[in-house]
Structures are given as structure tokens and as C-alpha cells.
Structure 1
């Protein structure tokens, strides 16, 4: 049953069996809206809407457009399908929210056809991709591919600049960080900051296991050596073990072919195959279980454009895991993490800075871990529970 108020999330993300940070953020938005009896429909570039039978219920008041397995998607199908759902919802109080990704062609088409030409109520969710995507790709190894990458980056930057200016055409903007709020306020005066979100129906571990033969550090997210600062942590693990501090690193998440090859070569060269492990992509329902096997969870993001404007959604999951968290002083991290109170924060984002901090953590780990993880959980509950933003989000979209 569709209620009087409807929000349609439009994205080039797939909403079928998706475990990305973007998908989880949209789902938490949807849950917040659904609390106030707003119907939410997730519309993917890879879906196809013809009639009500194409709506698949996810939970109360939340639906998604059915997607064919391994569907490639096309711009033409995307336009016609969106137009059909717009006509179907013409008697409802409907607004659309565009969640952008790197497929900026779909974003431009959506804005021109469904806003500029037909005045629909359309909002934009801004993430750090809009400020930094072309700049944070991993460098190519050969001169020819480096040249092609430079040309593609220049083209992407041009289109991203167009998208940046076009944000003034939307009815409003949603952002995840204070830096994005400050930057995009000059383009659109109706703007709402909603930080990283978490669903507190997730379980929490209150029984932390003691450190045994090794101190296990976990990273969960996109395994990107440049954007996420993984390279620094590889060096730290190597240095700690050279000093007979038995430390292991476990990496979970997607990784590009180029970076995976680099990673494997580095492990063999430095003889670290028994200390650093890449364990692939996990299903969402087992992520927390894997986190709770760690002694420390880490977000080693360096200073760059993407980390300046982004805010890692993984932090919210870390904070409710029952495992101490170590983050760098980028974006909004220091607004929520107090060093030694509800987590640990590194200001010197270098291998030496990380090494010094981890040794400091190890000295008092058993004495402080319970208090720190309790404070971390309380912080997440106070700031990141999606229910906190249910009323604000509904009013922003419909008032």
C-alpha cells in the first residue's frame, strides 16, 4: 500500500544485493522516512518499472523496483521507466532524491528531463565523489595508460564542475559533512546536514576477548591505498613486527585489480604474507561478527580532497561493534571522537604517527577497552541513530 507522501530515491547503484556504503546510507534514509508513514521507492538505473507489479517490498513502507539479474541498464530505458513511475505517482505528494555516483551521464539526464523541463520536486544527496572522484584514482603504471587517465580525468573534472553548478537547480541538498555543507551552501540555500547513520537493531558485542598471540587490527571498507591510506598501515604493521610486536592486519572490502596486484607484490617483497591478509567482500549480515574478532578497528584516511569532504559511514558501524576505534583527524572525525575517551585519533598521519599511537594503545589496552567501547556506543546512539533524523528529514522534503 502506497501512502499519500512518496519519496523516490534515484541512483545508478543497484538496489539488489548491494553492500556498498551508498546503498546502506540510502536504506537508513528510507527507514527514517518510513517512520512517519512516508512511502519510499528505490529506483535503480538497472531497474525497469511498468506497473505496480514491479514494486518489491523490502520492509514496511519501503519498496524497490525489481531488477533483472546482471542487468546492464541503458539511458533510454532509464528515462522511460522513470517517466512511467512519475505518471503512476501523479496523484501522490511525491518528491525525488538523486543519489549520485560516478555515472554522471545519468545525473545530467535526470536533472534536464525531470527538473528543468518538467518542474518535479527533486532533491540532491551530495557526497564526496562530487568534489574528488577524478583526483583519487590509483595511478596507472605505463606511460600510455597514464596519458589516457589524464585525459579522462580532465573530461570528468569538466562534467563534475557542470554538476556542481547544476546543484542550484534542485529543491534542496542533503550532505554528510560540515565541509560539504559549507561548500555547497553557495549554490543552494536549502541544505540539510545529516551525518553518518546506523540502525541500532544491529547487535553489539559486550564480551571483548583478550589479546592473545597477536594484536589484530581490522579495516572494513573500500581497500584503496590512496584514498583510505592503507599504504601507511602496511608500513606500520611491517615496522611493529620488526620490533617483535606481534601485530596482524585484516582487510575487508572491494579492491581494484590494479591495487590488488600492487598489494600482492608488496606482501611478497616485504615477506608479510603471514601478517597482512585480504579477505574479500563480506555480506552485510556478517560484517559485525568479523569486526568483533578484532582488537582494534582502523580508519587510516589521509588528507586529500575526498577525505576532506567525505565522512566514512563505516565509522558508525565501528562505534557499535564493541571494539576500540582508531581514526585520523580528517573531515568530521574530531567532532565525534575524543582521543582516549570514546576512541583514538591520530593527528600525525604518517607511518611514524600511527606506530606511536598503536604502541600507546597497547600499553593500556586491557585497562581501557571496556570504558572506551561503552563511550563509543553512547556516541553513536547520541548522534548517528537514523531515528534521530526522521522528523527533520520528512519536514525538509515536504514542508
Structure 2
């Protein structure tokens, strides 16, 4: 069975949740004998990426091909290529994608990108099977911060998928049961498949030393520096409440710059916590395991929102895989897998005091916290193991490829 994947960023280089999700599934399918080819329509994100990955390369049998050779490594370049240059690249990308799809009878899997959707949906007389994945509701852009253009593009993307693209699909992979229920309400839906969050447990078997700027003991948050999605503002306030009881403990915030980052930095300064609450920026995928494996606590103060209801945080799976205790909010489908004070420490979402209390509880009872962390790891091995989930995905793709007819 052959699978061709069209994607914006190289999952072997990206440290994002999306990149990690792609990589677990790609590696899992490859290990099961699926011939996987990845076509990267975006640009190189850094000089290092271009040096490390040639235009055409192969990693453990997985073939990668970059459509573009430019290096886009600043926020202004990113904006230019996203909002302006992408329109000029459309014709060239369409020609290249058509060439790859012509006569192809395997499975085509596209990232959730409007340009990709339009190109693939317009392909005449397709012989391939088309699948997609959703890990959150498409209308969450209405509630997230962003400029008018971003929100407009989000609306266009949602409308195109729901009115045109979904009916082109042979299969739709969904991360949560809430998404299954949502798309079941559509007319003429493709074959739906529930595939929970996945994690590569092997990445966390060895506890390497973290980068030298991470001084133990510390609490670590890895995710989006966004209040609406991940509740970073709540985390800052909660840590401030307990910090005086733990004078040697630091809080490290790991993630790329976001619209909320300036307000976080201002608030940290107001609290006089600049020496103990530190925004560390983004780190490579290879360094994340050492950062979170050496943390005393791992935290995810996600608010209760539509995004939380439809999605499931990939970082939570990585947290659990370390065997370290995790403090999180009881939102979405997280409580379907984890139990308070058994495999995780739950706090009421949206409450600074509640999150501060669970932080203190975990820190005051280190023996119990260790047991909770190990139980959480067992849950990750049982429900989120990439090897187990990849086998389920493989059987779904077999059904699409050999049996399911639209």
C-alpha cells in the first residue's frame, strides 16, 4: 500500500504538536510496511533545516521531497509567504501535485491547508483514495486572537471544507469522540475513524541532561504561549501564589512567540518574578524529551473552551510518557483516560487558586506524586502508544483502500 502525504512542514524537523502527530503516524505506518512519500509544499524554516535535509532525501525508508528551496526564518518572511507569495506559488504547486497524483491509485493524505484542499479537490478523474484528519473544530478561530485577515481566512477554510472538501473524502480521521459526533451530523460523510492522540514512547526512555539554561528543580510547560488555548496566564499567576514556599523552584515556559507573549512578559515583570518564571522560546524536537523528562512537575492549565472540547493535547501524551507527575485541568476528553490523584492531578479549569492548589499538593507529597506519574505513564502506554494506534490506522487505511467505495 502506498500513501502520499502533502504537508507544509517537515515533521522530522518540526517540534510542534502537529509535527509530532504526523511523525508518530508516519513512522508507525512505515514500520508496518506502508510505502510513505512526503511532499513538503512549505519552505525551509531555517538554514539548519536546509543543511540537514536536501530537496530529495530518505529517512528509514520514508521519502521526502521539498517543492520549494527558499529559507523563511523570520516573522516578516513568514507573513509574506503566507499571505502574498503563496498565491504566486499556487500554480507551480498545482502543477507538481498534479504530476504526483496522475495515475496514482494509492492513498492521498493532505494536511489541513486551504491551498492543498483546493488543488486536490480539483484533480479530475481521481484514481486515488483521499483521506484527511481533524484534531479540533474548524471554527475555533472566531475565539482566538489574531488579525482580521487570519480570521477571514479561517472562515473561508472552514466553509470550503464543510461544503466542498468533506464530500471528496473517502475517510476522515478524528482525534476525539466529540469530533466524531460533530461530523456524523453532516450529510454524505466519508468513513469516520476515531484515532486518539499518539506518542512515541521510545523518545522518553533515556533521560538525557537538559540544556544548561534549565536549572533544577523546575516546573515545565511546553506548548502554545496562548491564554485561550493553553491558559499560560493562569499558570503564571498560580506559580506566583506558591513560589514563595519553594524558593529554589523555577517555572520554564517553552514555546514559540505568540500574541499573548508580550502580556506574559509584562505580568512576570509586574510580579517581580523575572528570575524564576522564564519564557525560553522554542526548542528543537530533539531537545524536548530532555527538558520535560528532568522536570519536577509538568503542567497544562488548558481552559475549558471549544478548542479543548474538540481536541486533545499532544503534549499531554509526551508529559505522561516521561513518568513524571502531571498537573492539568479536567477539560475535554482528558478525564476519559486519566483519574485525579491516580494518574494525574486535576484542577478546575479557569481557576488560578485551583491550579495553585494542585501544584502545592503534588510538590508537598513527592512519594505519591512519583506513583501518580508512573501510573500516568502506564495510561500513555495503553491508550496513546504510537505502535498500537498505528496498527489501528493501518487497518482503517486497508479498509479504505480495498473495501470502502464512495
TM-score interval, smaller chain: 0.7 to 0.9
Which residue in the other structure is 1:76 paired with?
A: 91
Distance 1:152 1:389, change over 3 A: closer
| Aligned-pair Cα RMSD in Å | 2.7
Q: 3-state SS of the aligned residue for 1:297?
A: strand
The correspondence for 2:253, drawn from 246, 251, 255, is 251
Matched, 1:137 2:137: no
Shift of 1:250: 0.6
Which residue in the other structure is 1:110 paired with?
A: 120
**Following the alignment from structure 1 to structure 2, what is the Cα–Cα distance between the partners of residues 15 and 154?**
27
Shift of 1:18: 1.9
Q: 3-state SS of the aligned residue for 2:205?
A: coil
Shift of 1:193: 1.1
Query: Are the aligned partners of 2:298 and 2:324 in contact in 1 as well (CA < 8 Å)?
Result: yes
Which residue in the other structure is 1:146 paired with?
A: none
Distance 1:181 1:384, change over 3 A: same
**Following the alignment from structure 2 to structure 1, what is the Cα–Cα distance between the partners of residues 228 and 193?**
29
Shift of 1:157: 2.1
Distance 1:391 1:226, change over 3 A: closer
Query: Are the aligned partners of 2:229 and 2:308 in contact in 1 as well (CA < 8 Å)?
Result: yes
Distance 1:335 1:16, change over 3 A: closer
Which residue in the other structure is 2:378 paired with?
A: 378
Q: Which moved more, 1:324-333 or 1:355-364?
A: 355-364
**Following the alignment from structure 2 to structure 1, what is the Cα–Cα distance between the partners of residues 179 and 3?**
23
The correspondence for 2:109, drawn from 97, 105, 109, is 97
The correspondence for 1:157, drawn from 145, 155, 158, is 155
Query: After the TM superposition, which segments of 4 or more aligned residues of structure 1 sit over 4 Å from their partners?
Result: 205-208
**Following the alignment from structure 1 to structure 2, what is the Cα–Cα distance between the partners of residues 176 and 223?**
22
Query: Are the aligned partners of 1:131 and 1:309 in contact in 2 as well (CA < 8 Å)?
Result: no
Q: Which moved more, 1:37-46 or 1:366-375?
A: 366-375
1:193-231 residue CA offsets vs partner (Å, 9 max, x unmatched): 1111112322336899xxxx9862110112112211001
Query: Are the aligned partners of 2:133 and 2:172 in contact in 1 as well (CA < 8 Å)?
Result: yes
Q: Which runs of 5+ in 2 are unaligned?
A: 45-53, 73-80, 210-214
**Following the alignment from structure 1 to structure 2, what is the Cα–Cα distance between the partners of residues 348 and 200?**
28
Which residue in the other structure is 1:327 paired with?
A: 328
**Following the alignment from structure 2 to structure 1, what is the Cα–Cα distance between the partners of residues 202 and 361?**
33
1:230-289 residue CA offsets vs partner (Å, 9 max, x unmatched): 011111122223x54434311011122x43322222222221101200111111111111
Distance 1:390 1:290, change over 3 A: closer
Shift of 1:95: 0.9
The correspondence for 2:242, drawn from 223, 236, 240, is 240
Query: Are the aligned partners of 2:171 and 2:192 in contact in 1 as well (CA < 8 Å)?
Result: yes
Q: Which moved more, 1:155-164 or 1:368-377?
A: 155-164
**Following the alignment from structure 2 to structure 1, what is the Cα–Cα distance between the partners of residues 3 and 151?**
34
1:286-326 residue CA offsets vs partner (Å, 9 max, x unmatched): 11111123111011110112111111111111111131111
**Following the alignment from structure 2 to structure 1, what is the Cα–Cα distance between the partners of residues 362 and 63?**
45
Shift of 1:162: 3.0
Query: Are the aligned partners of 1:218 and 1:297 in contact in 2 as well (CA < 8 Å)?
Result: yes
Query: Are the aligned partners of 2:233 and 2:264 in contact in 1 as well (CA < 8 Å)?
Result: no
Q: Which moved more, 1:262-271 or 1:283-292?
A: 262-271
Aligned residues: 366
Shift of 1:11: 2.2
What TM-score results when the alignment is normalised by the length of structure 1? Answer: 0.84
Shift of 1:107: 2.2
Distance 1:156 1:377, change over 3 A: closer
